[in-house]
Structure 1
Amino acid sequence: MKKFLFLLFAVLTVVVLAACTANDDTDEEDPTENVDEPDGDDNGETADADGKVLYLNNGTEPTSLDPSIGFDAVSWDPLNNLMEGLTRLDNDHRAGPGTAETWDISDDGLTYTFHLREDAKWSNGDPVVAEDFVYAWKYMLDPETGSPAAFLGYFIEGAEAYNSGEGSADDVKVTAKDEKTLEVVLAQPTGFFLDVLTNPAFFPINHQVAQDNPKWHAEADTFVGNGPFKLESWKHDEEMVFAKNEHYWDADVVKLDKVHFAMINDSNTQYQMFQSGDLDTASIPPELSDQLIDGDNVFIGPYGGLEFYRFNLTMEPFQNKKIRQAFAYAVNREDIAQYVVKNGVEPAFGFINPGYTSPTGEDFRDVNGDLVPFDPERAKQLLEEGMAEEGYDELPEITLTYSTSDTNKAVAEALQSMFQEHLDVKVELTNQEWNVFAEAQQALELQFSRSSFINDYNDPVNFLESFITDSYMNRTGFSSEEYDALIAKGKSATDEEERWEALYEAEKMLADEMMAFPIRYYNTVVLEADGVEGILRHPVGYFDLKYADKK
């Protein structure tokens, strides 16, 4: 499945769905002037009382702090700092030791044996044991859970059969050999499996706590994590406060005492809060990009993901491929990137973002090139041909739906104008709050809708697998045995060059079928207050506050 999403890591001001796959469908002066107390005390007094407090913006309420359910950017950032998996992304954005101190891999690449740290503990003081991972992963794969992240577990032998209702939990090859040893057997060799395990979907769950209270994750006073921070308070739809977790195995390196997350889903409001000292980081509102982008307090970095739009192939007129192609070719992506979104984002003429290096040393994007160009003349011709094929004298009414945010609105309005100018087609716009939007899109209730994808792990198959038949992330009604076979090969082929060739062909097929079209690749552009340092912003889609500091 996947993912939703936000333009930036640190301050998620627009929501994406996803996925993953994730995640699927963001735009901060003196931190000592922050105000956190309702009685009006200045932040200098608050900082003295609470120590080092970092003020961030999460954009909106997390979908869920259940790691099997919160499979999107607004959940990932909190989860990645409240919990920890077997592996954790390091300073170089690679999978390194996390709760697992070491691991062994069998010669055939199928069996992984993880050795958990003896001093790994939960925030309530319980030891983290191998059974916590067994419980969490089988809970994620249980079809009754309905986890959008379950497909990530399909690398494990027996996982897909269990999740699809054709097998049992006992078939899933995840075993606690003893309290601190976990054995995992894969369905086929997967060279990027350690990267997959950094995703929050694979975080453990304190199985004793969860068995006593299945809603352990819903409130601060019941939440139990094993990461650098613990959940101190949570005012739903308003704010979250994290405190340093004294039970974390690596607590000595954690410099912050607390992290305060606001939930402001407007880029101008959060920028004003940054100016007033109420936030320590912020995204740059598009209209201020030219003025602020070159400032000394701006962090700019890669962010693996894509903003795109989906067609619903079960609704007219988008059952017709030529009509879908016409809409895609009518979009001037360069104008959207340069004049609408701004902040240095790159237009997307393909689905896979730059940065994936092939076995031959080439970038995936360079090999496949521009697959979805701006070509208004071709768009007009394709629309005429598609309408003739369907017997349309005029198109049925078309409604484009986006999740509520100022940036999403601006992009949708630009698309509306382009369809009118280049196709002479009137498109109505409507917006929905994120949770409503996500459910409607998943249920194929939206005719034409905005999406985003934030990479779950570091391999191009991550996005491409979203469109296999019956994938939670598909949300288009598209189904192709040929495409499914390409993705299966792109996941399991042991010859890396052969595997990548299948992925190249899969992306080309997406561009031909055009059940979706790309808009722009994400990047990370963040304003940081003086004294803020050490925030790790990973290109895969979440940030890490373990080493963050505020001086």
Structure 2
Amino acid sequence: MGPYLRIFSLALLLSSLLACSPHFHPVTRGNLHDLVLALPDDPATLDWNKATDGNSFEVITNLMQGLTRFDRDQRVVPGDADHWSSDSTATVFLFHIRPSARWSDGTPVLASHYRDSFLRLLAPSTASPYAYYLFDIQNAQCYASGQCPDSAVGVKVLGPRTLQVTLSHPMRSFPSLLTNAITDPVRLDLIRADPDHWSDPGRLVGNGPFSLLSWHHDAYLELVRRLPDSSVPPRISRIVFLVIPEPVTQLTLFEQHRLDIEGIPSFYIGKYKNSPLLQRIPQLSTIYYSMNINRAPFDNVHVRRAFAMAVDRVRLEKIFLSALPSLSSFIPRGLPGYDPDAAYPYDPEGARRELAAGGFPQGRGFPKVTLVFPEGTQSRIMASYMQQNFKDVLGVSISLRSMEWKAYLAGLDSHTPAFYQSGWIADYPDAMTFLSLMRSGSGNNRTGWSDPAFDRLLDRAMQANDSEKAVLYDEAQKILLRRGVVAIPLSQGVTNLLVPPDIKGYWHNAMGMDNLSDVRKIPRG
């Protein structure tokens, strides 16, 4: 039996098992008040100050709201802040919270709740991988490193609904950073009263359009609309996220009308390429492999360079039927600083020379290396191809290991593998969201690599105009990809969605954000 037939048979088996499971939610697409979607895995956490993964944010962004948000055209628009302003230098910002902003328990949303969130995100005790995200704020990095008190951080409450943020440098785009759910407000009173369970169903108090009704781990989550909806026709009143790891199973359930909207894995796009339901949205994202310089053999730059030169991206794109565009830049297409020549090109002879320079001519004596990646058919297809690619070009054998999503994330922090799959989608439409991953001190830089010249370029870019930024970004990523060689960019994501015509008000943007709060379902004719 061929591999795709085998996958499809497995999908049908899983579908029948899910239908019989006591934890499988019984809703169908026929209910006009419910929106039923799939997640590939459980959220790793619903603590927005600590979340880093897409599954968590997909749920959190419907439970919470920040000071600002993006609309479908990626413009920054009001969230909890109905307006904001800055001084002439773009270093001091005032955010004014609308009087109607309320938590789900009826408590007003206050400026102090945002200050508490910013400081909690930065606090060393929180250990958030995203702490660096607010380092543009005056003395934020100093506080995050434990070298100054929280009172020194440039976040002040000027009134119940007025928040002042002072930056360490001019940054007119700062409001766009606050669209990220990690900066949403927190209720320290509730967190301190129940530190282990405050984000559980029935206990999580949010300020977004929905509340968390239930969470059956590894099965489904239910969200219900917070306030009565008086709009005509009414918007959906409940969202059900079914946890379904296998994408082909998701497609089967969509075709059985048990999912409302469905993403198509890139290796399966051929079947639906002419479907009127298909929407294709290029992502501002990068899929790449990371190498840990603190673990052999990737402590040797010649080995890292050999692996980087051994990647045939053209062939990889063909395997995915051009549905997953190849990428030779750490900064994806669509952002200033994108450079198709930033990474080492495919060069088999050069790769073999570098491997020999690293002490492993023709792969002889090469140690055991395991490529670690999260569970999923797309990741496994990519890893299997890369395994063969390195064998053919370098003469080395690498093992493959897939891990369940939460275990994979935990492993990156507790014992970072030598060689592992990574991916990032933009938090805001600027290359800094990618490059800052790899700067010294970033909680998301697990490679062990640090370069002061790289950091200085990012510092300069923060204060540069748009045309200067593009040059500085490109210089920085070439240091990363040519001198550091700790990341191998492979592909840029594309979101392929099946959206039926009875779904209205839904959109998905290039940063992976779904608009669900305005969705309406109309009766099918």
Q: Same fold (TM over 0.5)?
A: yes
Partner residue in 2 for 1:401:
372
Partner residue in 1 for 2:264:
284
Query: Deviation per CA, 1:521-548, whole angstroms, max 9, x where unpaired?
Result: 0111111234123222122233221222
Q: Name the SS for the 1:166 alignment partner.
A: coil
Deviation (angstroms), 1:41: 11
Partner residue in 2 for 1:386:
358
Partner residue in 1 for 2:439:
468
Partner residue in 1 for 2:471:
501
Partner residue in 2 for 1:223:
204
Query: Deviation per CA, 1:179-225, whole angstroms, max 9, x where unpaired?
Result: 11111111111122111100011101134333433345431100111
Report sequence identity in percent: 28
> Residues 251 and 89 of structure 1: is their aligned pair in 2 closer, same or farther, counting only changes over 3 Å?
farther
Partner residue in 2 for 1:519:
490
> Residues 380 and 39 of structure 1: is their aligned pair in 2 closer, same or farther, counting only changes over 3 Å?
closer
Q: Name the SS for the 2:382 alignment partner.
A: helix
Letter of the 1:288 partner, please give it.
Y
**Contact kept? 1:123, 1:247, Cα under 8 Å:** no
Separation in structure 2 between the aligned mates of residue 494 and residue 305 of structure 1, nearest angstrom: 23
Out of 181, 189, 210, the position equivalent to 2:191 is: 210
Deviation (angstroms), 1:311: 0.8
Deviation (angstroms), 1:397: 1.6
Partner residue in 1 for 2:327:
348
| Aligned structure 1 segments of 4 or more residues deviating by more than 4 angstroms | 34-46, 250-254
Please give the residue correspondences for 1:140-539 in structure 2 after superposition, counting only pairs within 5 Å.
140-215=121-196, 217-246=198-227, 255-340=235-320, 342=321, 344-357=323-336, 364-366=337-339, 369-387=341-359, 393-491=364-462, 493-512=463-482, 513-539=484-510
Q: RCO higher in 1 or 2 (8 Å CA, sep ≥ 6)?
A: 1
Separation in structure 1 between the aligned mates of residue 491 and residue 159 of structure 2, nearest angstrom: 47
Query: Deviation per CA, 1:106-165, whole angstroms, max 9, x where unpaired?
Result: 111111111111111111111111111111111111110111111111111121111111
> Residues 36 and 67 of structure 1: is their aligned pair in 2 closer, same or farther, counting only changes over 3 Å?
farther
Letter of the 1:101 partner, please give it.
D
**Contact kept? 2:267, 2:378, Cα under 8 Å:** no
Letter of the 1:403 partner, please give it.
P
Partner residue in 2 for 1:116:
97
Query: Deviation per CA, 1:237-292, whole angstroms, max 9, x where unpaired?
Result: 211111112189x9899711111001111111111111111111222244532121
Letter of the 1:235 partner, please give it.
H
> Residues 237 and 45 of structure 1: is their aligned pair in 2 closer, same or farther, counting only changes over 3 Å?
closer
Separation in structure 1 between the aligned mates of residue 338 and residue 122 of structure 2, nearest angstrom: 33
Partner residue in 2 for 1:543:
514
> Residues 460 and 426 of structure 1: is their aligned pair in 2 closer, same or farther, counting only changes over 3 Å?
same
Letter of the 2:378 partner, please give it.
T
Separation in structure 1 between the aligned mates of residue 322 and residue 204 of structure 2, nearest angstrom: 37
**Contact kept? 1:456, 1:541, Cα under 8 Å:** no
List gaps (5 residues or longer) in structure 1.
1-33, 358-363
Deviation (angstroms), 1:71: 1.8
Deviation (angstroms), 1:46: 7.8
TM-score (norm 1): 0.86
Please give the residue correspondences for 1:86-125 in structure 2 after superposition, counting only pairs within 5 Å.
86-125=67-106
> Residues 40 and 393 of structure 1: is their aligned pair in 2 closer, same or farther, counting only changes over 3 Å?
closer
Aligned-residue CA RMSD (Å): 2.6
**Contact kept? 1:349, 1:371, Cα under 8 Å:** yes
> Residues 344 and 286 of structure 1: is their aligned pair in 2 closer, same or farther, counting only changes over 3 Å?
closer
Query: Deviation per CA, 1:477-535, whole angstroms, max 9, x where unpaired?
Result: 112222222222222x2444434322111111112121110110011111123412322
Separation in structure 1 between the aligned mates of residue 404 and residue 19 of structure 2, nearest angstrom: 28
**Contact kept? 1:468, 1:480, Cα under 8 Å:** yes
Q: Name the SS for the 2:402 alignment partner.
A: strand
Q: Name the SS for the 2:490 alignment partner.
A: strand
Separation in structure 2 between the aligned mates of residue 254 and residue 196 of structure 1, nearest angstrom: 32
**Contact kept? 1:274, 1:282, Cα under 8 Å:** yes
Letter of the 2:52 partner, please give it.
F
Partner residue in 2 for 1:62:
43
